[in-house]
Structure 1
């Protein structure tokens, strides 16, 4: 049995949707559906059924879903033990969107050159959910925003990049006073549910700025596009390039700017710790 098919089934069972599972796994919906058909054909019974607008496990699917997470962890641990004398095996690495575009490509290139037998599987997501999956052992490591709480001793952390908050404004406002823009112009809020967004909201409260809210978005690239179109200004981290091309933007520093720290989190007890250490070393080498 291909473990990727089992992981795909779990993603659909947990999210209730092929589309949601496809986003989580960075696959097409057709690719998810193909894996599900292959798994059901191998097992010989339906594993999912339609429940209104969602998909839910059948009784057989529910039994498999209850055992599968533990089984997948054991299989990955077994592979790590088999390659204990060499840097080889699979690493499941979570990453936020800006890290996938800005930090990960160079890191992956260097890892492939130095450790070609390490296979890295990328799981996109938000910092909050990715850190939780690292803590529970579902992911080996994750490139995320530093949590706003003390990292438990069961997890390691390496800080890779400091990103001060800036006011992002249309290019025509490059000479404007940034704090004035935050209260005078329509405001595009960086989602407060995200750890980076919480930094921005705390700064606004500390400065007693009440912006004229127009939108709230979690994707920084999307915020940049709206700002370029003149739909408002935003308070965001000065994230790692590349930024969207063809945009006219002013990146204005603010006084006493809070800093979003990007880094690598991992589980210290993972049987793949040697692979994780190789990844962390490469990440910190830059």
Structure 2
């Protein structure tokens, strides 16, 4: 049970997919499978249930994940304490799919060009765990797409406000509308991100408060899947502008004016103020501010 194996286990536990874990780590899938098997034999307990093509953590696996993350966090902290030379080190961060896909790529590219000796490590995970992971030192920073939230334990910096649009296909009956309300959605199919999405929660509350019952809520894990389904006319969807700008320009999707209250969502950067920020962390924090904070 070494650090390499624990790292492989935590990535597999977050992705619940050995193929994706292998791609993330730069290993062959057979290497990931062998490491997990060796770890399970060492611990004398199954860490994953394999149901067809799906993986799920066993109850012992869920308990062991907490300890594995703590061990890796302490290992990272120990290394960081010895690598405080300017522009050197490893920086771990996490972010929801939307932010990681549509906002961060040019920011990360520019950071790598400015600080080539800093190793950026993206740790995939569940949005509900982001704040805990920051507090426990599992990641150095987390980007969070959420409603305004106070925190007594986290340093929270708003990066930018995000506009949520109601989008439809160009052939949809709402496409030429000057505005729609919650009542207009009665009987209409609505495509939503999976539970835990902040803008989904606000949108659903508006429909509930208005007593408007859509035909169906269709739930998806990924924004790209939602966009493709909206394009072919399966329904309408609330999505961040940053995720649909290309489709709006091409005409594949149209934004339908929403007459309900504005959905208040922002992208935040959070970190643990009790932990020492090394040179890599300080450089990353300033780079994100320079790249994404609005200029006065």
Interval of TM-score (by shorter of Structure 1 and Structure 2): 0.7 to 0.9
Summarize the Cα distance change of 1:34–1:243 in structure 2 as closer, same or farther, 3 Å threshold. Answer: farther
Kept in 1: contact 2:167–2:236 (CA 8 A): yes
Structure 1 unmatched ranges of 5 or more:
none
**Bigger CA drift: 138-147 or 220-229?**
138-147
Post-superposition offset of 1:101: 1.5
TM-score, normalised on structure 2?
A: 0.77
SS of corresponding position for 2:208:
helix
Aligned to 2:168: 169
SS of corresponding position for 1:271:
coil
CA distance in 2, matches of 1:165, 1:209: 19
Kept in 2: contact 1:182–1:233 (CA 8 A): no
Aligned to 1:222: 225
SS of corresponding position for 1:84:
coil
Aligned to 1:131: 131
Aligned to 1:259: 264
CA distance in 1, matches of 2:82, 2:30: 32
The structure 2 residue matched to 1:178, chosen from 177, 180, 203, is 180
Post-superposition offset of 1:204: 2.2
CA distance in 1, matches of 2:271, 2:256: 34
Summarize the Cα distance change of 1:23–1:35 in structure 2 as closer, same or farther, 3 Å threshold. Answer: closer
Post-superposition offset of 1:70: 3.5
CA distance in 2, matches of 1:247, 1:73: 46
Kept in 2: contact 1:93–1:139 (CA 8 A): yes
* Corresponding pairs, count: 279
1:231 aligns with 2:234: yes
Kept in 2: contact 1:25–1:123 (CA 8 A): no
Kept in 2: contact 1:22–1:28 (CA 8 A): no
1:280 aligns with 2:285: yes
The structure 2 residue matched to 1:31, chosen from 22, 28, 33, is 28
CA distance in 2, matches of 1:126, 1:56: 14
CA distance in 2, matches of 1:171, 1:28: 40
Post-superposition offset of 1:184: 4.8
Aligned to 1:158: 157
CA distance in 1, matches of 2:64, 2:166: 49
CA distance in 2, matches of 1:222, 1:94: 21
Summarize the Cα distance change of 1:210–1:155 in structure 2 as closer, same or farther, 3 Å threshold. Answer: same
CA distance in 1, matches of 2:32, 2:91: 21
Summarize the Cα distance change of 1:174–1:55 in structure 2 as closer, same or farther, 3 Å threshold. Answer: closer
User: For residues 118-160 of structure 1, what are the alpha-carbon distances to aligned partners after superposition, in whole Å with 9 as ceiling and x for unaligned?
Assistant: 11111233432223322222111112213564223x3122222
Summarize the Cα distance change of 1:64–1:271 in structure 2 as closer, same or farther, 3 Å threshold. Answer: same
SS of corresponding position for 2:228:
helix
1:204 aligns with 2:207: yes
Kept in 1: contact 2:80–2:278 (CA 8 A): no
Structure 2 unmatched ranges of 5 or more:
292-296
1:81 aligns with 2:106: no
